């Protein structure tokens, strides 16, 4: 197991655009395993993108089932080269991020998405996600474009909040 250090904003690597993955070699397999390990060992994360651990490749690991309020979901997903094909509806969601640990913020996201990606065998998949899972996948794919949730906060004056510290 290899838990990796998560980059913290304003690390400039978080603003880089990730490159496509064309081959699943040992390096890519290790990045995937490191993402899974880092997400699992955080104890609270439902998703992570490769750029958050300093790897500029288009890979996301997400597991909406870790959120007790998310009943309908696809379980743990390893997504290579994810691309959102369709957006539907709108909802406001309070988001947080391991790369922005001191803040949460209100962000407008699509309520439902259609997303295409490749699995660990580079087989093409298309799924539909709604609610929390849709928000999670939008948040994580944003990371691959160098976009953080704080870039999408509705109003930096009224919709960005200091995260509460629990003892």
Rounded alpha-carbon distances, angstroms, from residue 122 to 47, 93, 159: 20, 31, 39
Set 3, 123, 140, 145: catalytic member:
140
- Phi/psi at 125 (nearest 5 deg)? -135, 150
Q: Is 140 a catalytic residue?
A: yes
Closest CA to 131 of 152, 116, 110, 114: 110
CA distance 152 to 167: 29
Q: Which residues are catalytic?
A: 140
């Amino acid at each position: 197991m290899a838990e990796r250090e998560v980059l913290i904003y304003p690390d400039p690597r978080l603003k880089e655009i990730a490159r496509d993955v064309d081959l699943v070699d040992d390096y890519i397999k290790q990045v995937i395993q490191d993402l899974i390990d880092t997400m699992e060992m955080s104890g609270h994360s439902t998703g992570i993108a490769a750029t958050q651990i300093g790897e500029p490749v288009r890979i996301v690991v997400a597991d909406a089932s870790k959120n007790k309020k998310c009943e309908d979901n696809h379980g743990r997903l390893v997504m290579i080269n994810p691309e959102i094909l369709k957006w539907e509806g709108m909802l406001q969601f309070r988001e947080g991020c391991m790369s922005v640990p001191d803040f949460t913020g209100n962000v407008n996201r699509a309520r439902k998405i259609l997303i295409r990606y490749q699995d660990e065998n580079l087989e093409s998949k298309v799924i539909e996600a709604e609610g929390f899972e849709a928000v999670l996948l939008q948040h994580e794919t944003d990371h691959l474009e160098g976009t953080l949730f704080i870039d999408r906060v509705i109003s930096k004056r009224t919709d960005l909040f200091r995260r509460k510290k629990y003892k």
